[in-house]
A = this chain, B = another copy of it.
Amino acid sequence: MLIVMKKQASAEEVRAVCEHIESLGLRPHPLPGAQRTAIGITGNQSTINQGTFEELSGVAEVIRVTKPYKLVSRDVKEDDTVIYFPGTNASIGGKNLAIMAGPCSIETREQAFAVAEQVAAAGAQFFRGGAYKPRTSPYAFQGLGEEALKIMVEIRDAFGLRIVTEALDHESLELVEKYADVIQIGARNMQNYTLLREAGRTRKPVLLKRGMASTLEELLMAAEYIMSEGNYQVILCERGIRTFVDHTRNTLDLSIVPAVQRLSHLPIIVDPSHGTGKRNKVVPLARAAVAVGADGLIIEVHHQPDKALSDGAQSIYPQQFAEMVGEVRQIARILHRDVPDGIQVEEVATLAKSK
């Protein structure tokens, strides 16, 4: 059920409705919009009398929601969700595209800094790097763990990049929340509901990747799990689905971008690196993702991809990344959006030295 408050409803009136909801053993989710506030309700509502809410002061309308998703829906919150990172030019879901870049895995401090310096100069606002890697084989490189997280904190300090990295389980989630700025939930865990709920109890934005066989509704319901615990800062990510196609590792389904934007207020970005699995297809598909209207990109960049411990074949060179940012910035402007300039090279040098 969804309570839509009047435009002129006061903060006190909103609070009173929330308290009434709690008194019924349910959970209120106030969602302020540009014009008015809506209050989503979660919990077992089978016995609620809709009429009692309509009588409360400041309430405009009570809507019974029939779609399985609630908090993710534009019905609940009309305006786009924008996630800001105070003190930076980074945001996700607003006018500026969010550009995330970095190596698949953090391998060494030197490797991470070498890549970070170049992606920062080219215009990335976020640094992505794996500390905990979900690998198909138990015998493959599993990531440096907390050591990688600490290296990324140094990178944030040196270059001002916000840090995005994946959490796999309870233990890694606690550390990722502690060190990073955005918690990534990978495609293989999109329906790991325990992990989604735990991410919903953190206070950091969550980047939720679409599972390889996930429908749009399942993706939105996975986001709903996170939001139902009170964390409304969710970013969706298309990273390719599994099909019969064999010229790419996965099939990037760009049509999900406008589909999400119709149904949900959450931002959606695209990962053309996993979405294609082939270096020579990353840049064309990155351009296409921006042209279709995505709110950002997440790209694997490695200064020596042939020596990468994971996913080298799909990592692009820093120089390719810089050219790509130039192209997508121009495409973004056609759609009345933008990509902020990168950090000046001298500035980067200063930052790096200042450490």
Contact = CB atoms under 8 A, between A and B. Distances in A.
A135 interface: yes
A221 B136 contact: yes
Interface string A286-299: 01111111000000
A225 B188 CA distance: 15
A134 B280 CA distance: 34
A134 B225 CA distance: 11
Nearest to A197: B138
A291 B331 contact: yes
B134 A193 contact: yes
Contacts of A191: 134, 136, 188-189
Interface of A: 42-44, 68-70, 134-139, 168-171, 188-189, 191-195, 197, 211-213, 215-218, 221, 224-225, 228, 241-248, 251-259, 262, 275-276, 280-281, 284-285, 287-293, 327, 330-331, 334-335
26 contacts: A42-B139, A43-B139, A68-B136, A135-B193, A136-B217, A137-B221, A137-B224, A138-B197, A138-B224, A168-B194, A169-B192, A189-B191, A213-B241, A215-B246, A215-B247, A216-B245, A216-B246, A243-B244, A245-B256, A247-B256, A251-B253, A258-B285, A288-B289, A291-B291, A327-B335, A330-B334
Given A169-B192, A255-B284, A291-B291, 19 more contacts: A42-B139, A68-B137, A134-B191, A137-B224, A169-B194, A212-B213, A213-B242, A241-B244, A242-B244, A243-B244, A243-B251, A248-B255, A254-B285, A255-B276, A258-B280, A258-B285, A290-B291, A291-B331, A330-B334
